[in-house]
Chains A and B, each alone.
Chain A
């Protein structure tokens, strides 16, 4: 099984900050990685697929990069609506998610 590890688990930041979340795979997954945003009581929302492709309708302040085993999600300038939990997901071999990164207001 492919294990996905996100860091940090919790991130405190302010509106306007640039933040980066890292996701590491236990083995190479090429570029088969997605990022989701989840708010309390809601379903996950797709942000990024294939490591760096921005889903239609998602603000351009979100970007993804990486390949093989190391990936990042960057939010260039945090907005109030961005405080949520973020998950990475690999779909190279079956499917697995990172444990999540909770983005909190500082």
Chain B
């Protein structure tokens, strides 16, 4: 079973950039669609975006379009979330999560989460 370990995160000023990474163990990483989900302080879960198994296609929530970019390297078993033009309201814990191929799939496994704080 794939396990996900996240890195990156931290404090960044509004308008700044940050890159989150998610490393997978196991040889089946390339079979997963990978998602990013965030959770603001004291709030619920919010889907950010996804990248399909071969990395050719991505899709983003409206708030992420044009600012966030998801990429993956199947040779290195990693997926990344590049966040630009960050806003105070992007402050959240960000989770990576795997899902089976195709649209109609639940999220499992999940990374441990990493905190992003956007503040001046």
Contact = CB atoms under 8 A, between A and B. Distances in A.
A44 to B, nearest CB: 6
Contacts of B61: 94
Interface residues of B, number: 20
A48 to B, nearest CB: 9
Contacts of B113: 42-43
A49 B110 CA distance: 15
A92 B105 CA distance: 9
B44 A100 contact: yes
- Secondary structure of the A contact surface, majority rule: loop
Contacts of A50: 106
Contact of A91 (B45, B105, B110, B111): B105
The interface size bin for chain A is: 20 to 34
A97 B106 contact: no
Contacts of B108: 46, 49, 55
A91 B44 contact: no
Contact of A43 (B46, B47, B59, B112): B112
Contacts of A36: 45, 107
Contacts of A44: 45, 95, 107, 110
B90 to A, nearest CB: 18
Interface string B97-118: 0010001111110111100000
Contacts of B44: 87, 97-100
A54 interface: no
Contacts of A49: 106, 108
B47 A95 contact: yes
Interface in A62-106: 87, 89, 91-92, 94-100
A95 B111 CA distance: 18
Interface string B53-66: 00000010100000
Interface string B34-74: 01000000001111001000000001010000000000000
Q: Which A-B residue pairs are the 8 nearest by beta carbons?
A: A34-B106, A43-B110, A49-B106, A46-B108, A97-B45, A95-B47, A100-B44, A99-B44
